[in-house]
Chains A and B, each alone.
Chain A
Amino acid sequence: MIKPVKISVKNLGVNYGMIKAIKGISFEFNAGEITALIGSNGAGKTTTLKALSGLLGHTGEVFYNDLNISSLSAPERLQHKMALCPEGRGIFPNLTVTENLMLGAYLEKSKSKIAELIDQQFSMFSRLGERRAQVAGTLSGGEQQMLAIARALMSEPLMLMLDEPSLGLAPVIIEQIFQKFEELKNRGIGLLIVEQNAHLALEVAARAYVLETGTITLNGKGSDLLSDPRVVEAYLT
């Protein structure tokens, strides 16, 4: 089993110039668990993930277990096994599926290890294996999302942050993808899922946070929030 890891975020703040996008939020998520961060447009969900993965400078602190990683850059955070699957998938459309995956293992130098990781992804996402030589831009939306997840998995993350994985996908495909998330969770990986599709996210999440204009207004077990009248009124009706 993978060692227990906990990411704790303390008083995280992000400013875009004069505008405070995130106003000091605190939350935590664990390996082997699905955590959901829900909220409406402009609540700051993507900003939170970008700050967590080191793409944006932020105030406040991020702890990896007891280690303060607040000052680390994106590549350095990746070495601490924190991977981000960016919004809008962010695959490289003109590279082949295999090349996309190879880039995911950028920090891994051993070729045999990379080949092994690629095989691992292909056994998890068999559709990608069938299309390994195809240019990624010609994949369907669902396949592209799977590729983005597989690529993030190439860095063997303990903590996987997913930005809107259900965006623009058919319900059947979303179901498939969320099944994969359960699989990953059972492998001991911690997932932080940012979603607008609150219902879906709350169903699978052990713990969930509701983000509204830069602050966390509610948190609790996913199933509890699912029946919370405030959440129901704001996001589920």
Chain B
Amino acid sequence: MKKYIIFLVLVAGLGVVLNSFLNSYIQAIFISFIINAIMALSLNFITGLADQFSLGHAGLMALGAYTSAVINKEFLGDQWMFIPVGVLAGACIAGVAGYLVSLPSFRLKGDYLAIVTLGFAEIVRVVILNWSHVGGARGYNGIRKFPDFLLSYGFAVLLLFITFMVMHRLKVSWFGRNLWAINEDDIAAEVMGLEIAKTKRYAFTISSFFAGLGGGFYAHHLGYISPGSFGFIVSVQILIITVLGGLGSLSGSIIAAALLTFLPEALRSVQSGGLDLRMIIYPILLILMMILRPKGLFGRREVYEWLPARLKTKWGIKQ
């Protein structure tokens, strides 16, 4: 109990600091860090734990974002109080879509999921692009935002907390163990009686739900979304974060999200004249990190596993 109070105080303190001492630019970066973290966690669940390569998380994110934005504006009277309802609806739609995509994909073994999800994300994007009711290529404008930063921040942290806790509970449960087993040796897992396709379907559905959650909040954070915000490159960025944090390391995903969100912004200062050093330093850092830590920053372990044993028992962390 005590650790949750400490956590809450820290989060609130950070919120107050961000709110009163830092400008809206840094505040916005902080929120996008949280969105990236949610997306990376979502992808990590399917790619890291179950070893199923997905390149379509931008599509799921788009579904969540558009659903949430449209529901809030057209059915919930454009009120900021109802943003969580819309975000939840967006997550559910993404979850359902994820389940439908997984139905045919997991009948096959191998990397077919990557191809199927890549196609799915493109279909979503092109449908939105040609759907004038949601703005088509112009994008969807005037989405209700939270009236002030602290609310937005609070909701974002809550979403991240829920995402992390759910995934973490699943990771250490029998379900997570089944995913590991499939990841490591699917033939042996099948011989144990595991229904591989079904387990992967559940995992992908859960992953899709949280991708939709991140997408829904993204819409209400920026207030404007367009098909261009959910292109292929977004899926790749999420993948980079996940791989850098370590496939299978949930806390690693959050830390990598922080790194890869703040780093490009911090490097803005090295832009001088016509020379854009930022786009040289950033990729070099990525390459260096992959050379030095080829399994990602934390491999498949969680950050807290490095804590001294005394603290672990004190905080009730299972070893």
Verify that A and B bind, or say they do not. Answer: yes
Interface set of A (CB-CB < 8 Å, partner B): 53, 55, 74-75, 78-79, 83-86, 90-95, 99, 102-104, 106-107, 151-152, 155
Within 8 A of A (CB), among B156-195: 174, 177-178, 180-181, 184-185, 187-195
A interface footprint on B7-22 (CB within 8 Å = 1, 0 otherwise): 0000000000000000
List A contacts of B278 (CB < 8 A): none
A55 to B181, CA, bound (A): 16
> What distance in Å separates the Cβ of B123 from its nearest Cβ neighbour in chain A?
32
Query: CB-nearest residue of chain B relative to A137?
Result: B184
Q: Contact check, B177 vs A155: say whether CB atoms are below 8 A apart.
A: no
A90 and B185 form a contact (CB under 8 A): yes
Residues of A within 8 A of B185 (CB): 86, 90-92
User: What residues of B have a CB within 8 angstroms of the CB of A103 in the complex?
Assistant: 177-178, 181, 189, 192, 194
Tell me whether A92 and B194 are in contact (CB under 8 A).
no
Asked whether B73 is an interface residue with its Cβ less than 8 Å from the other chain, the reply is: no
- The 15 listed contacts between A and B (C-beta, < 8 Å) are A53-B191, A74-B191, A75-B194, A83-B191, A86-B187, A86-B188, A90-B185, A90-B188, A91-B188, A92-B185, A93-B184, A95-B180, A102-B174, A103-B178, A103-B189
B residues in contact with A84, CB < 8 Å = 191
Instruction: Assess whether A74 is in contact with B180, with CB atoms less than 8 Å apart.
Output: no
Which residues 261-319 in B have Cβ within 8 Å of A in the complex? 300
CA distance A151 to B185 in the complex (A): 14
| Residues of B close to A90: CB separation below 8 A | 185, 187-188, 191
A55 touches B180 (CB 8 A): no
**A161 vs B249: C-alpha distance in the bound complex, in angstroms?**
36
**Residue of A whose beta carbon sits closest to that of B191:** A84
Interface set of B (CB-CB < 8 Å, partner A)? 174, 177-178, 180-181, 184-185, 187-195, 300
A75 and B195 contacting across the interface, CB-CB below 8 Å:
yes
**How far does the alpha carbon of A200 sit from the alpha carbon of B36 in the complex, in Å?**
58
- Are B187 and A155 within 8 A (Cβ)? no
A118 → chain B closest CB, angstroms: 14
Once the chains bind, are B184 and A155 in contact (CB under 8 Å)? no
Closest residue of chain B to A89, judged by CB?
A: B188
Main secondary structure of the interface of B (DSSP, over half): helix
Give the chain B neighbours of A95 by CB distance below 8 A. 177, 180-181, 184
A79 to chain B minimum Cβ distance, whole angstroms, is 7
Are B191 and A86 neighbours in the complex by a CB distance under 8 Å?
yes
> A residues within 8 A CB of B180?
92, 94-95
Q: Are A104 and B192 in contact, CB atoms less than 8 angstroms apart?
A: yes
Min CB–CB distance B313 → chain A (angstroms): 15
Contacts of A106 in B (CB 8 A): 178, 192-194
- Residues of A within 8 Å of B193, CB to CB, are 74-75, 78-79, 106-107, 155
Q: Which 5 A-B pairs have the closest CB atoms?
A: A90-B188, A75-B193, A78-B193, A92-B184, A107-B193
Whose C-beta in chain B lies nearest to the C-beta of A87? B187
Chain B residues with Cβ below 8 Å from A93 are: 184
Which among B180, B187, B188, B194 has the highest number of chain A CB atoms within 10 Å? B188
Do the beta carbons of A78 and B191 come within 8 Å of each other?
Answer: yes
- Given A92-B181, A95-B180, A103-B181, A55 and B187 contact (CB-CB distance below 8 Å): yes
Contacts of A99 in B (CB 8 A): 177
A151 and B184 CA atoms in complex are apart in Å by 15
Instruction: Other than A86-B187, A152-B191, give 7 A-B pairs with Cβ distance below 8 A.
Output: A74-B193, A75-B190, A92-B180, A92-B181, A94-B184, A103-B178, A107-B193
Closest Cβ neighbor of A155 among chain B residues: B193
The chain B residue with its CB closest to the CB of A152 is B191
A75 to B188, CA, bound (A): 12
- The CA-CA distance from A124 to B52 in the complex, in Å, is 37
Taking CB atoms, residues of chain B closer than 8 Å to A75 are 190, 193-195
Least CB separation from B174: chain A residue? A102
Does A155 lie within 8 Å of B188, measured CB to CB? no
Determine the distance from Cα of A8 to Cα of B192 in the docked complex, in whole angstroms.
Answer: 22
Q: Which residues of A contact B181 (CB under 8 A)?
A: 92, 95, 103
Measured CB to CB, the closest approach of chain B to A85, in angstroms, equals: 8
Task: Please measure, in the bound complex, the distance between the C-alpha atom of A155 and the C-alpha atom of B192, giving whole angstroms.
Answer: 8
Q: Which residue of B lies closest to A76 (CB)?
A: B193
Give B319's nearest chain A residue, CB to CB: A133
The smallest C-beta distance from B124 to any residue of chain A, in angstroms, reads 33
User: Shortest Cβ distance from A51 into chain B, in angstroms?
Assistant: 13
Q: Give the interface centre of A85, A102, A103, A152 by most chain B CB atoms within 10 Å.
A: A103
Within the complex, what minimum Cβ distance (angstroms) separates A69 from chain B? 14
Provide the bound-state CA to CA distance between A90 and B181, in Å: 10
Q: How far is the CA of A53 from the CA of B187 in the complex (A)?
A: 11
Give CA–CA (A92, B188) in the complex, Å: 8
Task: Find the A residue at minimum CB distance from B189.
Answer: A103
Give the shortest distance, in Å, between B298 (CB) and chain A (any CB). 14
Q: How many Å lie between the Cα of A95 and that of B193 in the bound state? A: 17
